[in-house]
Amino acid sequence: MQWSSLVNICDLIATFAFATVGARVAAANGMDYGGIVLIAGVSSLAGGTFRNLFLVHQPAWVLNPWLFASVLGAVLITIVRKSSEPVGRFLLALDTFGLAVATVSSTNYALGFHVTPVIAVILGITGAVTGGLLRDVLSQTKPVLLHRETIGTSALAGAAVYVALNELNVNKAIPAIIGGLVVVIVRELSIKYSWNLPRITR
């Protein structure tokens, strides 16, 4: 399988993962079908959209309309199963997988435009966390990104590892696999042990 095809498949899966979590959050907050569609779309497509706009490039869903199929699939599953309970452990794991793929994909995409390593890391984080942040804001939920589970830290670690390995000119698959694993490991450990960044206390 060609590298570009593998990247497209992973993007499709990550979009589905983010859309599924977004649809469940919307349903758990009592939104109607329109709200579920909106939150699912924002959750899964906003990160890549902002990443591309910062690079003065068309959004991913304009270039690849098939991404909407993942969003629609997630919405239909949520509606048909009448899934309105809060996000559970399985969906958190699915969200973590999406976070890993989005981090690696966004960082790789940025490097394709020959940006500096620092900018590639920033855009990698942007592509990974923006959708979830806007999902929580629109759902009037305390943003997970800003107070627990070190989502941003996980994306930062994964993107930094990806860029560092990419600088060594190794096989493309190696930075992607290791960078993605770093995201998963940091996120899962933060959930298991309730890790958070330091807070200001009185």
Tell me the per-residue pLDDT of 50-72, one tens digit each, with 9 for 90 and over.
Answer: 999 999 999 989 988 889 999 99
Task: Specify the pLDDT at position 144.
Answer: 81
The SS3 call for residue 64 is coil
Residue 71 · residue 131 · CB < 8 Å: no
Please check the confidence at residue 123 and state whether its pLDDT lies above 60: yes
Task: Specify the pLDDT at position 167.
Answer: 92
Q: Tell me the one-letter amino acid at 22.
A: G
pLDDT tens-place string over residues 128-176: 999 999 999 999 988 888 776 689 999 999 999 999 999 998 888 899 9
Given pLDDT bands bounded at 50, 70 and 90, which one contains residue 19?
very high
Task: Specify the pLDDT at position 177.
Answer: 94
Task: Specify the pLDDT at position 8.
Answer: 74
What is the DSSP annotation of 110-141? HHTTT--HHHHHHHHHHHHHHHHHHHHHHTT-
Ranges of each domain in the chain = 3-192
Task: Specify the pLDDT at position 175.
Answer: 94
Residue 87 · residue 27 · CB < 8 Å: no
Task: Specify the pLDDT at position 161.
Answer: 97
What is the pTM (predicted TM-score) of this model? Answer: 0.92
Residue 132 · residue 19 · CB < 8 Å: no
Please check the confidence at residue 4 and state whether its pLDDT lies above 70: no
Q: Tell me the one-letter amino acid at 14.
A: A
> Going by C-beta distance under 8 Å and a sequence separation of 6 or more, which residues neighbour residue 43?
18, 19, 21, 22, 23, 25, 131, 132, 134, 135
Q: What is the DSSP code (8-state) at residue 148?
A: S
Task: Specify the pLDDT at position 12.
Answer: 86
Given pLDDT bands bounded at 50, 70 and 90, which one contains residue 3?
low
**Other Cβ atoms closer than 10 A to 86:** 10
